[in-house]
Amino acid sequence: MESTRTIVVYLYPGMTALDAIGPYEILRGLPGAVVQFVARQRGPVTVDSTFLRLQADLSCDEVTRADILVVPGGNAPAQMRNPDTLAWLRCLYPTTRWTLSVCTGSLILAAAGILTGGEAATHWSARETLRQFGITPSQARVVRRGNILTAAGVSAGIDAALTLAALECGQETAELMQLFIEYAPQPPFTAGTPETAGPGIVARAEAFLRRDAAP
């Protein structure tokens, strides 16, 4: 009989939807996968756009273990200041085989004391914040440190999930998942990183992020 793999995806207000759904589309296809969408309370969770809601079927109090934990980015500062969230992550992490953060989710892991030292990936706009935790921000899309995988911004969560799928079930399974979702990116522009976007685009993006973060 095939053993199950419990995959816990943490949802919180202001999170970025693709940070969770991108990895979900890969990890749900792993043999024996059981996906649990979990939030502080059961019910709909409004993402950062405010147009979309994702459904949490379980509360954090109901979930005490996970084989794979996914922590998305988005409104990370609020989660970094939430003692209940940080305590739950600290309790859950030792039960996991793999923990995956996407975008600024790595900041939440750092605030919880799960991610310490070394290198890690995060959204390009949060690299200096990550450095404040004594972690060296990497320009790589995916960084593995032991059983923790950190991904850069949003779309890199798919790369990280494929990497995790290969580690957990072998490269052939990961390639099968990649084929299922026809993941063969050919972006029309080269503006995907601040290193390639050009100073004008970066300045506009930074201004937008500052405005978005303003109270």
**Residues involved in catalysis:** 103
DSSP 8-state code for residue 115: S
Cα–Cα dist 86/57, whole Å: 20
Cα–Cα dist 84/60, whole Å: 9
- Say which residues have a Cβ less than 8 Å from residue 162's Cβ, sequence separation at least 6: 26, 174, 177, 178, 183
| Under 8 Å between Cβ of 155 and 73 | no
Cα–Cα dist 153/19, whole Å: 8
105-130 in b/e form (b: 16+ CB < 10 A) is: bbbbbbbbebbeeeebbbbbbbbebb
Cα–Cα dist 20/34, whole Å: 15
